[in-house]
Structure formats: structure tokens, C-alpha cells
């Protein structure tokens, strides 16, 4: 099975994000990769109508801190969705498993505790090259994918509020 391109989607199927407000929390560990994820997410949100003033970006040290950073963002403002961006690269230490499990469970819990979507935009790769390939490289950009998911989930919630 081939690897799909994380930036491949049908633009016509994406709701307009012009009246939506987004939070983005981004981990600074592997900053070259996460900066590319952030650029992709912002570019995609703006491409679908979100305005600069309606995109709030906050940085945290590493992916393990994404959960609390995302909670701070949700408490801080009336946001339609929060996008969590990070990059965890497998090394020789058990850190990889602990961090990945911690952030996956943490973000899942936020989705259940708050009535807005929290999007998992965390690359969990074996090598740095695999991460680069998914942060604007040959497999697209997970930041784009996360932004599309945020718009779709925010629109889904709005469709149910009518
Ligand atoms: C400690 C650590 C390690 C080994 N690897 C990564 C990584 O690949 N990606 C990442 O985002 N963060 C890493 N960290 C830092 C942890 O996420 C966290 O910031 C520290 O353990 C402090 O809580």
C-alpha cells in the first residue's frame, strides 16, 4: 500500500472558514519540521477563508506539552477548533512511546472534555527524513491535513447547532 499525500484533498469539499476562529499550538522540538507544519496549517486555513486575526498561535517546548497548551488556548478564547502540531522522532530511548501515548491520550481527552474539536497534527516517525517528507516534502504536509480536519469538524459542529 502506498503512502498517501497528506495535502491531497478536494478543495471544493471544504466549508468556508471565513467566520471561524482557530487556535494553533505548536511544539518547538524539531522546530524545522514543526515550523513547516505551522506554515502549511496557516496557509490552508487562510486559503479557505480564515483571517489572520482569527488564527491564534502559541508555542510549547515539546509535543508532550501540546495537551496543556491546547487546553490553555481553549480556555483563553472562544475558538471553533484547536490544531496541535508536533513532531516526535523515534530514537534509542523509550521517550518516543511515552510522548506519543501521552499526547494522543491527552488530545483525545480534550476532545471529550471540551465541546470543540482538537486536531492531532503530530508526526510520529522513525526517522527525521520521514518527518521532512511529511512537512512539505514528497508526502505533502500534515499541517495542511490538520487544517482541513479543523475546518471540517468546526463546520460539522455548526451544522448541528442549528
Ligand atoms: C524529550 C523529548 C524527546 C527525546 N524527543 C522529542 C521529540 O522527538 N519530539 C518532541 O516534540 N519532543 C521531544 N521531547 C520533549 C518532550 O516532548 C517534552 O518537551 C519534555 O519531555 C519535557 O516535558
Distance CA 26, CA 69 (A): 9
Residues with a known catalytic role: 95
Is 122 contained in some domain?
yes
- Report yes or no on 29 lying in a domain: no
3-state secondary structure of 87: strand
Look at residue 3 and tell me if it is in a domain. no
Tens of pLDDT, residue by residue over 46-80, are: 999 999 999 999 999 999 999 999 999 999 889 99
Is there a contact between 82 and 119 (Cβ–Cβ < 8 Å)?
Answer: yes
Residue 81 lies in a domain: yes
Number of domains in the chain: 1
List, in sequence order, every residue forming a beta bridge with 118; answer none if it has no partner: 82
Q: Tell me the residue range of the domain where 75 lies.
A: 37-161
Q: Is residue 23 part of a domain?
A: no
CA dist 86 → 2, 53, 109, 124 (Å): 23, 23, 17, 8
Q: How far is the CA of 100 from the centre of ligand 1 (A)?
A: 9
Residue 32 is assigned to a structural domain of this protein = no
Predicted structure pTM score: 0.96
Instruction: Give the tens place of pLDDT for each residue, 128-145.
Output: 999 999 999 999 999 999
CATH number, domain with residue 128: 3.40.50.960
Nearest atom, ligand 1, residue 28 CA: 11
CA 106 – ligand 1 centroid, Å: 15
Residue 2 has pLDDT above 60, yes or no: no
Compute CA 126 distance to the chain's CA centroid, rounded to the nearest angstrom. 19
50 assigned to some structural domain: yes
Distance 119 CA to ligand 1 centre (A): 19
By C-alpha distance, which of 105, 108, 145, 106 is closest to 123?
Answer: 145
Whether 128 is in a domain gets the answer: yes
- Whole-number Cα distances in Å, 45 to 16, 17, 65, 77, 100: 9, 7, 23, 18, 26
pLDDT digits (tens, 9 = 90+) for 71-103: 999 998 899 999 999 999 998 778 899 999 999
- CB of 64 closer than 6 angstroms to any ligand 1 atom: yes
Amino acid at each position: 500500500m502506498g503512502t498517501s499525500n497528506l495535502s491531497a484533498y478536494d478543495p471544493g469539499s471544504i466549508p468556508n472558514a471565513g467566520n471561524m476562529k482557530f487556535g494553533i499550538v505548536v511544539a518547538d522540538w524539531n522546530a524545522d519540521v514543526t515550523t513547516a507544519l505551522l506554515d502549511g496549517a496557516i496557509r490552508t486555513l487562510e486559503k479557505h477563508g480564515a483571517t489572520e486575526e482569527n488564527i491564534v498561535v502559541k508555542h510549547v517546548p515539546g509535543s508532550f506539552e501540546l495537551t496543556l497548551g491546547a487546553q490553555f488556548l481553549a480556555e483563553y478564547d472562544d475558538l471553533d477548533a484547536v490544531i496541535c502540531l508536533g513532531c516526535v522522532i523515534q530514537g534509542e530511548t523509550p521517550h518516543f512511546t511515552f510522548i506519543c501515548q501521552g499526547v494522543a491520550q491527552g488530545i483525545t481527552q480534550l476532545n471529550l472534555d471540551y465541546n470543540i474539536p482538537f486536531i492531532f497534527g503530530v508526526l510520529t516517525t522513525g526517522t527525521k527524513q520521514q518527518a521532512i517528507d511529511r512537512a512539505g516534502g514528497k508526502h505533502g504536509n500534515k499541517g495542511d491535513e490538520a487544517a482541513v480536519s479543523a475546518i471540517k469538524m468546526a463546520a460539522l459542529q455548526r451544522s448541528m447547532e442549528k
